[in-house]
Structure 1
Amino acid sequence: MAYDKIIPVRARLDHCADYVLNPEKTSLPDGGPRLATAINCQLDTAYWDMMATKRRWGKSGGVQGYHIIHSYTPGEVTPMEAHEMGVELAQRLLGDKYEVIVSTHLDHDHLHCHILFNSVGFMDGAKFRNNFQDYYRDIRGISNEVSRAHGVSVIEPEAKGEHYAEWSAGQSGKATVRGLIRQDMDAAINSAFTYQTFWEQLARMGYTIKRGPNVKHTAVRPPGGARFIRLASLGDGYTEDAIKERLAGVRRGESPIAASPPKPPSRRYAVKNGLLPRRPHQKLKGFRALYVHYLYLLGIRRPSPKRPPLPFSVRKEVTRLNRYVAQFRFLQANRVDNAAQLAMLGDALQAEIDALTDQRKDLYRRKRRGQDVDGEIQAITQKLRPLRQKLKTCGQIEQAVSHIRSQTELCRDAQRKEQEHQKAITKTRQARSQKFSPPDR
């Protein structure tokens, strides 16, 4: 199964090229050919060819290139097959406009191709635009076509997913709005005899009903509800045809159970010694662990009375407590533990900001030509604000991590000095007690 992700390269394109073409990662162990290929450039001078294209078109700033990682499930393909598919993907996606280098790395159990290409096209100087729609239409789509052609499985959604709130509530056993509506509809079917009396029963329960010849989707709004819920979204057994069939079953004397099957009973297990093993808590690491430790030092919880006093430079940091809490929540929400993950997140946010900014520039040009696009401009501006705030938070965290580490080290030094001082006091007291203690008789 092939999996793709794309990373914008904003600095040191040469470093990325060196990593992609690393001979220790791309050379077959049996002395076979090196799994590296260049498209529209030379393998040994790929970086300089890309930079020459940027200078020729006067576009040396911004995103320098893009790095696609094309991975396979372990054991699904051979190294040569993986490389062949990576080259075909790059050729079909980028071969007519961009300089590209493709390599297959063999240093992990899962084979993966690295596709690095110039952000500026050598044919017309146009810059590659990376956004969500292009990913699924071009990169994901062509990748799936190549995988199918070579008999490799692809990632495709099988059906419409369940809303997270519904899924989460179902997992925890909590009631949901749709679940309560289904219960009321089951009760109405049980007490009704015809289709019309079913709707009258729902209306007596306080439901607002939207149906008729001019209504495309029959829907109901529960008492106190803010919006209508379509019957089709309630699942099998709650569409109009299914309700009519269930009412016909009531008239035949059948049990008016819902069409959806009941949940299977939970299994019962015998536990040795009557105790269930505790599931260990997931241990934080990296940046998140650093922030949690520092927040405890700053007193987010009541400090232990035995804890040594903190240095003044740390104690005055309490004025920034809310800022550090917000940064930790940002790290926790995005599962960021190291500098590489933080940089990748920042690059992704910047790529999305760049794409929206370019769209807004085009709208401003259309506005100057007299077109009414103020609504579209305002919508893009609303999207840019939270993205820029997140990118700003990434920069703040990058600067704060080194500061927090230095402050944490000061606390450790203070703690070591306090422990040494207490040991010296204890040793002195013991020596005095032995010196002045009366002799044994």
Structure 2
Amino acid sequence: MAVTKLWAVKTNLGKVIDYANNPNKTRNPKYTEEQYQALADVLTYAKDEEKTEKQFFVDGINCNPSTARDQFITTKEYFGKTDGIQAYHGYMSFKEQDITPEKAQEVGMEFARRAWGKRFQVVVTCHLNTQHLHCHFVINSISFVDGKRMVDNEKNWFKFRHIADAVCKEYGLHFNPNPKFERPTNYYFDKLEKAGMPNRYQLIRDAINHAIEHSKSVAEVGYALRDMGYGYDFNPRRKYWTVKPPGYTKSIRLNRVGDDYTREAILRRLQENRSRVGMHRYTQLTVVSRQYRLPTRGDKIRRIGGLYGLYLYYCYRLGKLPSYRKLNSAQIHYYFKEELLKLDELSEQTRLLGKHGIQTDEQLLQYKSSVEGEIKSLTADRTDLRKMTRRKIDDVELSQAKDKISQITEKLRTLRKEVKLCNGIAERSGLMKEHLAQVLAEEEKSKGKESREYDQRR
């Protein structure tokens, strides 16, 4: 069975493949632009000698594999299309255990000729470093024939997979004639959920659960979501109902949130609410004890003031402070729920403000400038040490210089992280103040309503 995949290599990708393990990548000084770096990385990976037995299984279609990068770039420059997607990287993996590398390379070449060989330059390699042999394809995004980019039929798996099936059938390899497309799950959200961290879908589930719990109709669910800052579209003629979390511009289909949040599931849960028998007290209490509000930890934190006090109080409202405080996400105001995804960053920014006693924007800017100056000085020192290692020095001096370079590099990593935290504080502090002001205003309004209801009961 042959498994085929294809994805784009874009200009803003620092690393095309995360598991690339070739530490000694060469770089042609003729091309130093960032838009060509992704193209060089993917070609280097596809021709990795450790995986292809010293390039015994490396071939090119309409190009020479040893100079493929330069030929790809020449084609782009000739047609004036050096921007956008630089190339497409794909693979074909074989399930058969007894297939030889020669046959796998032959199948990969035949597939590439039929799929892209008439209009594009292609590098085809066969990797032998895994349990299943697999071929890699690197296809130039610009055609050398007419200068046009790939069309849908040439880069859509549902279209070119028929070519792969036909080739496998001719060579006697097993293939699945009726594959089922499964929507890929979001790895980032799954990882957060497994770790017990809040994520976007979990927040949506909590909001909908809270709305359904207090509703008996679709309209009431919509009103409750609107009060929490959510947009929604519960049109009965639509196949999929959608919600739009606060702060987002795109809506999310509820069938992607979970099986209990589809249109049919929501209607069923509302029907259960309507059929539930409500139990109420026959005689109402006539005596209501007056409760007095005592000072809380939040009141003490608010008296600290400054940027540090702002971040402490923000972490308190998110349930992060103190550490033993367990706050239900349903009790958190919807203005703060999206910040639950950034708790680690907020904690680091809070520690930075407390460690250096930063209270004002001026102090923050002054500290950032001092760190940037230290970074500049350490970078110059590291450059001098690197120049020293290139001279003829004994092994002891060379070892000492490398140790100092490692220490400076680690220090620079820490300082650059602090500069990033300072930039984040400067950007986020204004929005935090705005959110806190709105939340406190709503809470004061709610307290006034509760006080009036209490006076009426008296």
Query: Which band: TM-score by shorter chain?
Result: 0.3 to 0.5
Higher relative contact order (CA 8 A, sep 6+): 1
Larger Rg: 1
Q: TM-score, normalised by structure 2?
A: 0.38
Q: TM-score, normalised by structure 1?
A: 0.39
